[in-house]
Structure 1
Amino acid sequence: MDTTTPTPQPDQPYGTTSAPSWPQTLSVWATAQSTGPVQRRGRYVPQSVKHPARMLPAIAAHAVHAYTQPGDLVFDPMCGIGTTIVEAIHAGRDGIGVEYESRWSDTADANIAHAHRHGATGRGSVIRGDATHLAVLLPAALQGQVALVVTSPPYGPTVHGLVRPGSDGVTKYDNRYGEDKGNLAYRSSLGGLVEGFTDILRGCFTLLRPGGVVVVTARPWRKRGELVDLPSAILSAGTAAGLVPLERCVALLAAVRGGQLVARPSFFQLQQVRKARAGGVPMHLIAHEDVLVLGKPSPQPGDGVVA
């Protein structure tokens, strides 16, 4: 994948400090130098495009290279088409994911098999189930073994999807995760979404090794004109789950060309911005996702932990 900044190299083992440490790296990740379709071309099976909220492979790859070493275990509790796992196993790490919808877990399995056919050396697997109950989904032997969690919360069908032209303008399609209303994406309020995501992060906390890292990508969106500050809500969920905020980075959704940002907006973003500006609201295109980095503290002397 094309990037303009060098991939950060992993640090030495974290040791016993209360929070992980690694070399200082750029807080802006150049993760959209090529478009999402270009990043996935030949690397993912064609049906992957139908998922409504695909993480950019470059975002997952950057996180894997920045916060893990070869042989480490990477986990995604809402893995969708398996982007986190695919990028982990291509980088020589092992990857495991949980996915609620059988359609997408099947696609993730296909992407893992595709990656192995194209030289990926890590092991990868997907478990079908509800990530708000990780303790009953994953083997107890995995507790304390995960080096890195990379994931993104669902946004719902109003934010994502593809479009096709029609007689009445455009028609949206492939904008739903599935029809099962038990899916976290269909919780009716931000509070309900955050409550479920907090349960997921609590499960991740148990799976993480001391000094392990959680990377969550999120961005605010507008609902009936009001800004929904999802990144701040995710930070609150993380601290409620026992994690410690470490960094807040930016993953670009725009390319950098000649010192300028080249936006890569969706049709819906363009439509929303044009309507807002026509109504006198100076809205701008979203050119990044927030990357929230949290860690599991290592035990300290006197914490009562038996070595």
Structure 2
Amino acid sequence: MLEEPFDISNAVDVWLVGQKVSPTQRKERYVRESFSHPAKMLPELAARLIRTYTKEGELVLDPMSGIGTSGVEAIWQNRNYVGIEVETQYAKLQEESLRLAESQGAEGSWNVYNRDAREGFSAETVDLICFSPPYHDAIHNQGDEIARIKRKIDSGKATPAMLSRFKNWKPESEYAGAGTRSFGYSSNGENIGHQNGDQYWRSMDHIYGKAYDALKPGGYLAVATKEQRDRKTGNLTNLYGDTVAHCQAIGFGLHQHIAAVLCKIHGDGEVIPRTSHWQRMAVKKANESERVVLLNQFEDVAVFRKPLT
């Protein structure tokens, strides 16, 4: 479904989606408050997935839609959009960004539902389901790391960098929308980001099964994954491989593996990393312990297709 006229340079499976930083990609197109979400899909990645796998007037669904990146990019390309988001504050921010896009001239229709994606969606009505799932125990992992820093500050063992970054720590700011507080970015027990192991995969299998039912025959499911490290063993998880196995077991065919490059690459090949404070801190800590760890600068996007019959 690549846009006409066909351009072979667009038909590649390596996408440079991080040439501009995320705030620049979002500037004046999303409400400022939505920038606080800690796990946003890059607008360029969402836009390209929608442009590649749908046509104007078709329906895009994001079942774990956060602050609505897929939705804003969909309606700007004259696609119709449905977003499902369990966190009330993010569902509201999503609606605000969608209304902003409408006021700027975006023409696609949209609906946002503040509920759990495990409740399902309408059968065989959707052309593309596009989303980035939460990682195993993502909320607790984030909160655990921040809580560790807080303990160091309280015990007098914090580094100058820690003291500088967290000098204005306030207990009442727990659960802040920015996702930088000791309990992570959600206190909602229904959020799958709280789950790990078999419980996590049971929930995701349920959502992937509902996604299969919702897609038209021949429709696409695009899942953006990013590998994480097990904080106890230091080993990489295999979220991409596990996602492929679970979706194939449901009945999807693996249609495409896309490498979405998050860093900036200059014409001379120089790489400018796009990293968070937490990524840099984790890599620094690992290498100081003589365990060589590299900064992750890409996401694995698995594109599945529902059989035609």
Match of 2:251 in 1: 242
**For the residues of structure 2 that align with 1:145 and 1:87, how far apart are their CA atoms?**
20
Alignment of 1:1-20 (within 5 A): 8-9=2-3
Match of 1:180 in 2: 188
The answer to whether the aligner puts 1:202 opposite 2:212 as a matched pair is no
Shift of 1:35: 0.3
Match of 2:219 in 1: 212
The answer to whether the aligner puts 1:278 opposite 2:251 as a matched pair is no
Structure 2 residue aligned with 1:128, among 111, 114, 127?
A: 114
Amino acid at match of 1:186: H
11 and 209 in structure 1: CA distance in 2 versus 1, 3 angstrom threshold = farther
Match of 1:252 in 2: 261
Match of 1:223 in 2: 230
227 and 70 in structure 1: CA distance in 2 versus 1, 3 angstrom threshold = same
Shift of 1:261: 2.4
Shift of 1:168: 2.9
Amino acid at match of 1:74: V
Structure 2 residue aligned with 1:146, among 116, 126, 134?
A: 126
119 and 23 in structure 1: CA distance in 2 versus 1, 3 angstrom threshold = same
Identical amino acids, percent of aligned pairs: 30
**Contact 1:74 1:146 survives alignment (8 Å):** yes
Amino acid at match of 2:255: L
Match of 1:168 in 2: 163
State the number of aligned residues. Answer: 276
Amino acid at match of 2:131: T
**Contact 1:10 1:67 survives alignment (8 Å):** no
Match of 1:16 in 2: none
Bigger helix fraction: 2
178 and 10 in structure 1: CA distance in 2 versus 1, 3 angstrom threshold = farther
The answer to whether the aligner puts 1:294 opposite 2:289 as a matched pair is no
**Contact 1:276 1:282 survives alignment (8 Å):** yes
3-state SS of the aligned residue for 1:32?
A: coil
Match of 2:173 in 1: none
Amino acid at match of 1:110: E
The answer to whether the aligner puts 1:62 opposite 2:72 as a matched pair is no
**For the residues of structure 1 that align with 2:4 and 2:117, how far apart are their CA atoms?**
28
23 and 265 in structure 1: CA distance in 2 versus 1, 3 angstrom threshold = closer
Bigger strand fraction: 1
Shift of 1:231: 1.1
- 5+ residue gaps, structure 2: 150-159, 170-175
Question: Cα deviation per residue 1:122-166 (whole Å; 9 max; x = unaligned)?
Answer: 0011111111121xxx4xxx4212110110111313359999x98
Q: CA RMSD in A?
A: 2.6
- 5+ residue gaps, structure 1: 1-6, 13-21, 300-307
Moved more, 167-176 or 284-293: 167-176
**For the residues of structure 2 that align with 1:24 and 1:190, how far apart are their CA atoms?**
37
3-state SS of the aligned residue for 1:110?
A: helix
Shift of 1:25: 1.4
Question: Cα deviation per residue 1:146-190 (whole Å; 9 max; x = unaligned)?
Answer: 110110111313359999x98735349622342111211101x23
**For the residues of structure 1 that align with 2:4 and 2:247, how far apart are their CA atoms?**
23
TM-score, normalising length from structure 1?
A: 0.84
